[in-house]
Homo-oligomer: A and B are copies of this chain.
Amino acid sequence: MGWEEIKAEVLSRIRARDWAPGATIPGEEALAQEFGVSRATVNRALTELARAGVLERKRKAGTRVAALPVRRATFEIPVIRAEVQGRGQVYAVRLLREEISRPPLAVAAVLGWPILGGEALGAMLYLETLHLADGAPFAHEARWLNPGLLPDPRPDFATVSANEWLVAHVPFSTGDIAFSAEALAPETARAMGLAPGTPVFVTERCTWGEAAPVTWVRLTHGPGYRLKTVI
Report which A residues bind B (CB closer than 8 A): 11-12, 14-15, 21, 53-54, 68-79, 82, 167-168, 170-172, 174-183, 197, 199-202, 205, 207, 209-210, 221, 223-231
A69 touches B172 (CB 8 A): yes
**When the two chains form the complex, which single residue of B12, B177, B229 contacts A177, counting CB atoms closer than 8 Å?**
B229
A21 & B168 in contact (Cβ 8 Å cutoff): yes
Enumerate chain B residues within 8 angstroms of A210, measured Cβ to Cβ: 12, 15
Known: A70-B79, A74-B73, A199-B200. A230 touches B172 (CB 8 A): no
| Cα of A124 to Cα of B69 in the assembled complex, Å | 25
Q: Give the Cβ gap from A226 to chain B, nearest Cβ, in Å.
A: 5
Please report the C-alpha to C-alpha distance between residue A86 and residue B129 in the assembled complex, in whole angstroms: 37
Closest to A221 in B: B181
Per the bound structure, the CA–CA distance linking A103 and B12 in Å amounts to 29
- Interface core residue of A14, A172, A178 (most chain B CB under 10 Å): A172
Contact A180 B73 (CB under 8 A): no
A174 touching B231 by the CB < 8 A rule?
A: yes
Q: A54 near B181 (CB under 8 angstroms)?
A: no
CA distance A231 to B207 in the complex (A): 9
